[in-house]
Structure formats: structure tokens, C-alpha cells
Structure 1
């Protein structure tokens, strides 16, 4: 049986195309079918690199008996949460409200009107560890729908009423001032893991946006505590198993407190955010480790996630195939059968000997922390950096290359090759800056290619975005707030690095759409446009989780755009949006990290730097690079010919004594222009 999902654009939906379940995509047709048949909807939400989504699929959705029950008594609907974050958000809110927790796969039972009445995440095929079996759940829901439908309807209606009443109004809260940002730092200090770095316990996620706040706070105030937390956390992650010591790039999170054993999926958004953080750490400290990790992660993005069309794929799977009888690829904890979680990445001592020989295997085992006991039941180990300061030197370089070559012969993890606009915006910003910092024009070129794809494929003449594309074809899913804000962020970074004003124009077009279609009253934002598909409620979430929320990302892009253009409207919108940061700074700083980073930029100005000079003059290039390397939070940089119309910042900015010059302004006050890079460096730190 090949179901409707064979025609879907999403790789995740296509993974379920051969299930015996008669899946529908999300849409009015599925709900009309449920009304016609008088049955409830089973909504199953996941994503392609989700390990437990694969497990539930193998255990339940590939099972003929389970599929028969689903097909007869439900309309099963499959949703890729990365394609439809709005659908995911509104029903995840219901799941969390009802159960106190959430996660994927998400399993929700709906009335034919889309109202939720029973919730869960992963269900095993049979009762296990206090969880009911999935077939048991199906029979219970079926019986309730058949025998107590009025009661089910009342429960569903009550849930929708409660969700609809959860509107946020932080617009009357002022933007955070010095006191709120200091309070956020103090709370982060209390939550900081001084032994292993990061915040909180297991599982431990890379706190990329909080790290950006800490670096900006240090730059603005000189706080050594902020810098120390950022430095130590970055070092712990870079040395841990959460970082791929051979191929570069970070896994989604660590299952332990020590950043040792990862959940092996690699996401575009994590790596885009983290390579930018490490580049900013290098900018602040000169750390060789930070430089190496920033460049390796950027090279991972280009080498592993870049698509033929020039965009960046969403993710690499945690699982990969394990050939029968293989000694080179071994299942890890949680893996087994035809697939193993992390099988591509882990090593046993015997496998090191097979690839490297006895002497180099002993060296590599000591260097990377590979032991006979391993991290998993079968003796496999995650590679960590446990001996030596850096992965440098001829011997370790040779070991690394041989291990990489051997690993390349293993079955590779699956790749979700859909292009998500928001996450590509984050990658564009990171690659543009890292290319400029480290004289890597190839990385800037990769950022430009991705930006060109977004303009050509995702963006229309009215400034509206499609959220996803695949193989150069845009999907039907409308962009959400994070798409507009993160793509604008990427375009603004490109404008600063390349000196091409067209990227500022594109960012302005997107931000005008944000103000027109996503803004609520008094500084609030919604995740979906005012003309988007109506769901049981209009999603609205200001908190930063795996990536910046659309709300805080919009605040940051609006602030930078205002600094470039002098637009009072965009500046006022950014400041109103930051009210939510002031409200959450002291009590939940880990979940408003990007908002705190934007607030640091607002308090600092942000500084506006105009570099006026011929593009082919080495002095212009030296001033431009110095401006980009400035640590002033959120500083914007415009570089071009004197009095150029490309940027408002360059108007009335002549050469000084016939030499290229830099002009630095802050809060409507400008310093004297300088022609010396050393003097400029003092003005942008």
C-alpha cells in the first residue's frame, strides 16, 4: 500500500508513504472526511530526525493490526512539525497543559472540527513502564467516541476555550534596562553548572542564545562572570561528545549533565547559532579552540547540509543502518535492529585498532576517551577531546583523517533536505560573519547562494515568504514570524559583510510584512500572519527554545534595520517588542536568551559604523574588517563609496584628507571620523 504521503514534499511524510496506515496530510480534506464518516482524527506530529518518531513508526504504524484499527475508526493525519510549526505549537500547548510535558512524536486525538480531547507523545505497542499500549489507547478513544460522544465534545470545547483565553500582553511592559539585565545574569549564575558548564542538569541542551547574551553583556559591562560562563560552557561542549570531533558540528543535545553522550541528530538551527557563538567568542578572546570550532562547524554546514540549489538542509538523522554482521558499525544504546541511534559516530577499541593499527589506536583511544567499557552496552564510545589542548599536530591530524575515511564507508544517517527559510536565515548570518572574520570568501559565497535561493524561490514581490522548499520548488506552507525575522537577520548580516545595499532592501521588505501582518497591539507579535489559516487559536510564543522565537528575532532584526536606516517606526516597534524580555529576564532568562541579547544591543545603541572608501583600497578593507570584528553588542556596519546611496549611514560621509574613513555613531551622537584601524577598534569595543 502506498498512501497519500507519497506525493508530499516533506521527507518526514514520505518516510511514512509505505505504511499500511491510510495517512492524510493536514488540510480541510482530512477533516471533511472525518465529518463524513463521523470519526475522530488521529493527529501524529514529528520530524525526520526524531529517533522516537522512528521507533513508534516501526512498532505501530508499520504494524498491520494497528493500521487496520486506525483506518477503520479514525482519520489518521501526519504532520511534519518543521513544515507546520503553527499546527505543532497549538496542539503542543494543549498536550503540555493536559499532561505537564511534551515532546515528539506528539499524538493527539481531535474532533472533526480540530478540537483536541486526548493527548500523548510516544506510546509503546504494548503497556510498558506505566504507559498504556498504543492499541489500548486506540480502543479506549474509540469506545469514548462511540459511547460518550457528548462528553468528549464538552471536554474538547472546554480545552479550546481555555487555550483561546491564553493571550499574551506584554506591550505595556517597558524594554529592559540595566537592572533587568543584571537580574538575568544573577539568575543564570544560580542555574549555572560550575562543574560541567551549561545550565541545569540532564538532558543538557547547548544554550546558544544565552551564550550570545553573556558575550554581549561582557562586551557592554566588562562582566568577567558573564565571559567565564560563556567560555567554560563553550569549551565543555567543544571537548564533549556533543561535538563531532571528526567531522565538526553539534548534536542536538546531551543525554547527560557532562555533554558526553549526545542524542545524535544534527540540526541546521543548532549549528548555525553555535558556529556564530564560537566566532563571537573568538572575537572577544582570541581563543584558538573557539576559532577551530567555528570554522569546522561552518565547514560542516557547507559540506554536509548544503543542497544542490544552494540552500541548507534541515537536519541529519540520529539513526543509520547497521549491516548484518558488520564489525565497523555497531548499535548503541537505544538502537538495534535495522537502525541504530548514533551508529555512524561511535567507536570501539577494536575498531580503532582495525583502522589505525595498535600504536596509533592506543594514542587515539587516550586522546578521544575510547575505553573498553565504552559509553554504551556494547562497548562503543563517543569520541571526546580528553587529552591534549587542541586537535592539532601531524599525528592527530593523520588519525583524524583515517578515522574520517573509515567512517565515510559506513551507512550514512538520513538527511532531511527540505530548506526551511528561518533556519537558512540563521545559517546565512553565521557564514557571512565567519567568512569575513577568517578571510574565507567561500563561506560568504555560500551565504550569498542561500540568500539568492530564498529570494528566488521563497519570496514573492509583496514580501511574503514560503516556509519551505525542496529541490528548488517552494512548498505550500506560508512563512511564520520566525521565517521573516531570521531571514531578515541573515540579509542584514550580508549587507554588513558585503556592502551590498540590496540585502538591506530585502530585509526592509520582510520587516514591513512583519509589522503589517504579524504585529498585535502594544508590542506583541503572533507567530502566524493575520491572513493565515485559522487554527483553534492563533499561536503566540515569545520564549526562545531551540532557536530564537519569532517575537525576539523580530525585535532584533527591527532594531538593526532601524540602526541602518534611522527609521523611528522600526526602532519603536523593536523597543515595544522588548517589553516581554523585561517581564521574563529575572525569572526565566534561559528561555529568553535571544531577547536578552537584543536588549543588550538596544542598551548599547546599537552602534552604527560607516566605512567610506573605495572598495579596492586596502585601507578601506582594513577599516571594514576592524568594524566587523568590533564586540559592541549588535553594532551595524555599512561599507561603501563616500556619500553612497546604498546605505543611509554613508550619506554625507566623505573621505578624510583623501583617505578612507570610519564614522561611529551611538544614540544620535557621533565620534570624530578616523582613518586608522587601531583607533576604530577602540570605538567599537
Structure 2
């Protein structure tokens, strides 16, 4: 349970079979509170609603209250969130959803309590229903074809905001993976969005990126800082620097590396998040110095640290920055030592953490394959991939997010697109790094398992189109030296970011780019390689 639960007056229970058994035995519905440590609204609801004695007594008497930290329990989060945090969800003893809402004040909360009680008294367990995303056993499959990438380019062109940058005409998210997709297909859109993110979401004093902006013009940012989102933007700005040479992008990446390695560094790895606090972040530098910084959740999450390793190592690859490399190595080693065993990844370093969740397997594998490309050190990458394929892959080729059992609806199948894309992307790299085509075959089937919905996808999942393109036009740059040579470092800086760089310490000292099995460029020195690659429009 999260550390803020004790500040309320509700008699919370842990998520698990006992809570559902209690609900069934008492004939009461469950009240699930999904909270996160970085949300000001969660703290406000704790004080104003769950801390109000009469409301708390009403909850304790008429419901079985359950409290879940959504960051620490992705399975519950993905099945029950109402679209934001806090989420309050009313469940039957079978785990089906009666009703739910995000933030509510005291009056609104009293209203939903009365409504749920009336519904429960009238209908009982039949008042609940299974959320739509859990009703299908498998996503809509289809064929992997060039149209997937073409459709996503059309989405970029159709939804780009020409006035303010970014995509969409309302709330603005930074969409790091979309920026990366656009860097090689619609570069002006990518650079204008990088500039907007840099101008409006970067905390220029403490460092780090805010989550998103509520205004179309990137105004009114939500000021929480999450490790995974910052890691993704470090990588996007590093890639932006690689393609354009714009020093401002390099500086932004480095400033964010500094934030991650100071404010979010636990001593062993990277902390999960820092809370939002408008009063603090809008204060002058002098006032900030005298104030307490917003709360940092020091939980070390495996998936988020994997993505941080990925982002920091690409920054090191393009800039040579030693700090980015050193902290990436330390985080990688801590995760591999403390949170990985026999290919199984533990979600976080808290007690009784989940094991083998797809989000963690994918995030850690992404960090390890990048470590292999940049440093020549893959660690347990193959073990992580093999366990994931054996334990989480379905007959359809799709991947489950977790085990096929669990309290509530956690035993029902859920096939998350984002984690599938992360995993497939890492498997493409692993196939090139190991020479094992089976990893590419698994990645292909995973991507094909969603291809039937490709024409309905928007720019927020451009990463799907990116990995689909990589699978259809596989490219690798094999460097016939160990990692760290001048030739290898040059290859990292010159390769298209969707090309896998493969250091080969047993090679002949020549770097060769392969498209499929065909060599399309080669060079034995950085200069020769640059001449070969820059003469090709793909670079």
C-alpha cells in the first residue's frame, strides 16, 4: 500500500483475494482507490474526501475499501483506471465494474456513493460489467505491409499543429516516440515539436520535463516529472541532435541527464517520479532554494530504469558524455543484479513486487539491447527475451501483460500495444545482435497481431509504425571491431536510429551496413564509413 494511505481515515485493505472474499462474504461492493505518489489531485482527495470523518465512516461501513498504488501495480492500473489519477472504482465481488470516476470533491463523492449503493441494492452483482478492453481474447490481427507506415505518415500530416507545433488541437503531449518517427519522415514537424517541448515543458531551473500541457499552445503544464517520460525525451532530443547537429537539443538532453542523475538518483538507480507542485515550480529561483522540493518516489522500477539506460546510452553514443554512460551502467547493473533472475524481471525494489510483467520485460530488454549496441555489453538480454517469449506469448503471437491468474479481473487477458511495441523493437535489435532470426520472427508475429487495427491508429502510437517499418526493411550496421573503437563510435553517430549497430570483436576491422543480406555501404575508417553512408539518401 502507498505511503499516503495512513494520512486518511479509511480502513484500507490491500489488493488481493482476501479483499474480494471479504466483499463476497459481507455482501458489499468494493471501493478501489487507484492512486499515484506524483499527483497533487491524489493528495487533495486524500485530505478532502478520504480524510473527512463522515465520508470515511460511510466508506468503511458500506464498502470494502481497497487501496492500490497504480505505479506499483500495472495490472490493476491497466484494467481499472478511469483515465487519470486518482481513480475511484466500484467493483462487484467478482471484480466487475459498477461505476467509477477520477478526482471528486466531497459533494461529488457523496453523490457517487449514493448512486452506487442504489445500483447495488437494486441489482446486486449484475450491476457490474467487464470493461471493453478485457472482452476480447486477442487484438485484431492482420498483415504486415508498407501501408502501416504510409498511414502513420498521413496521420502526422493531418494532425500536426502548424501554429504551435506538436500534434492535435487540444491537450499537448510531448510524444517522444512520435518525434522519433517524424525525424526521418517529417523532420520539420519533429524539430518544431522538439522546440515546443524544450520551450514549454522543460524546467529550466531544476531540470527535467513536465508531463504535458493542457493548452493547445503548450500553456498550463502538468508539472509532475516521471522517469519513463523523461528517459524517452532524453532519447528523442539525443536523436534530434544526431540528425540536425543542433546544439540546443544536445544541451537539453544533457540538462535532463543532470536532473536524472541528481534529483532522481537513489544511490543505486533512478527513482520513479517527482510530484507536481505548481506553487513550487512557479516560484522564483530564490524562493525555490528556500522551499522543500516536491516529493520524490524513490521506488526503483525495472521498466523505467531500462528506458533510462536506453536514453542515457544513446546520449553518450552521440555526445561522448561520460556521466551519461557511468550512471546508465550503474542503473543497468543494479537492475540486473537485484531485479532480474533467470530472465524474470521483478517490477520494483519494494517488498512483494510483481514478477514477469510484460512492461518490465520489455523495458529492461530495451535497455540491455542498447547497452549491447553502445557498450558491447548485453548482460542477460537473451535470457530476458527467452523467458518473455516462453511465458507471455500467446498462440496468436500477441503477448499478455502478466500471468493468467489474479484477483478481480487481473486474470483476464490484456495485450498492451505500448509494451508490445517496446518488446518488438528490442527483439529486432536482439535478432541483429545475436544473428538469431527467431527473435525477428517473434517480433513480426507480435506486430502482426495488431495489424488489423493499424488503419485506426493515431500519432500517439507512431512507434508501432516504426517497428513495422524496421521489420519490413531490416538494416544493421556491423562493425568488425569491439565496442569503443573509433570506428564503432563513428558508426553509432552515423547510423540511422532505426538501424541496429552490431559491434563484432571477432570481425575484420571493417564496418558494413546490411539491408537484409546485402551490403550497401562499408568503410574501414571513420572517414571511409562517413563517405559511404553520406552518399546514401537514407542517412
The TM-score normalised by the length of structure 1 is 0.74
Partner residue in 1 for 2:324: 443
Is the contact made by 2:148 and 2:465 (CA closer than 8 Å) also made in structure 1? Answer: no
CA gap of 1:478–1:421, structure 2 versus 1, over 3 A, is same
Does 1:419 find its partner at 2:300?
A: yes
1:105 to 48, 68, 86: 86
Question: Partners in 1 of 2:275 and 2:15 — Cα distance?
Answer: 23
Deviation at 1:567, TM superposition (A): 1.4
Q: Which residue of 2 aligns with 1:160?
A: 130
Question: Which structure has the greater CA radius of gyration?
Answer: 1
8 Å contact kept, 2:94–2:408? no
1:478 aligns with 2:373: no
Unpaired runs of 5+ residues, structure 2, are 534-538
Is 1:188 paired with 2:156? Answer: yes
Q: Does 1:670 align with 2:539?
A: no
2: CA distance, partners of 1:626 / 1:107: 52
Q: How far apart, in 2, do the equivalents of 1:165 and 1:564 lie?
A: 38
Which SS does the other structure have where 2:501 is aligned?
strand
Alignment: residue pair count = 534
Aligned partners of 1:303 and 1:410: how far apart in 2?
A: 17
> Paired residue for 2:364?
487
Distance 2:408 2:23 in 1: 18
Q: Does 1:523 align with 2:382?
A: no
* Whole-angstrom CA distance in 1 between matches of 2:134 and 2:411: 6
Match of 2:536 in 1: none
CA distance in 1, matches of 2:532, 2:444: 24
2:400 aligned counterpart, secondary structure = coil
Q: What RMSD in Å do the two structures reach over aligned CA positions?
A: 2.2
1:31 to 11, 14, 20: 20
What secondary structure does 1:550 align onto?
helix
SS at match of 2:6: coil
Per the normalisation by structure 2, the TM-score is 0.93
Give 1:640 deviation, angstroms: 5.2
| Deviation string, structure 1 residues 569-627 (Cα, Å, up to 9, x no partner) | 111111122225644444323232221222232244131322325x7xxxx62211111
1:140 to 97, 101, 115: 115
Matched, 1:287 2:259: no
Shift of 1:539: 4.3
Question: 1:464 touches 1:510 (CA, 8 Å); kept in 2?
Answer: yes
290 and 143 in structure 1: CA distance in 2 versus 1, 3 angstrom threshold: same
Matched residue SS, 2:203: coil
Shift of 1:537: 5.1
The answer as to 2:475 corresponding to 1:598 is no
- Equivalent pair of 1:19/1:61 in contact (CA under 8 Å): yes
Secondary structure in structure 2 of the residue aligned to 1:25: coil
The corresponding residue for 2:188 is 228
Task: Kindly indicate whether the alpha-carbon contact (under 8 Å) linking 1:247 and 1:296 is maintained by their aligned counterparts in 2.
Answer: no
CA displacement 1:219-266 (0-9 Å, x = unmatched): xxxx4xx000000010111112x2112222210111111123211101
Query: 1:552-591 residue pairs with structure 2 within 5 A?
Result: 552-580=421-449, 582-591=451-460
3-state DSSP of counterpart to 2:514: strand
1:185 deviates by: 0.7
Cα-to-partner distance string for 1:611-660 (whole Å, 9 max, x where unaligned): 325x7xxxx6221111111242422223353x2xxxxxxxxx22xxxxx4
Residue deviations 1:475-511 (CA, integer Å, cap 9, x gap): 42224211101100101111111122x42xx111111
In structure 1, C-alpha distance between the alignment counterparts of 2:43 and 2:413, rounded to whole Å? 27
1:116, 1:407 → 2: CA distance?
43
CA contact (8 A) 2:138 2:396 kept: no
2:288 is aligned with 1:407: yes
1:622 lines up with 2:486 in the alignment: yes
Matched, 1:175 2:144: yes
For residues 456-483 of structure 1, the C-alpha deviation after alignment (integer angstroms, 9 at most, x for no partner) is 21112x211111114xxx5422242111
Q: Distance in 2 between matches of 1:51 and 1:161?
A: 27
SS of residue paired to 1:174: coil
Between the aligned partners of 1:176 and 1:80, the Cα distance in structure 2 is 40
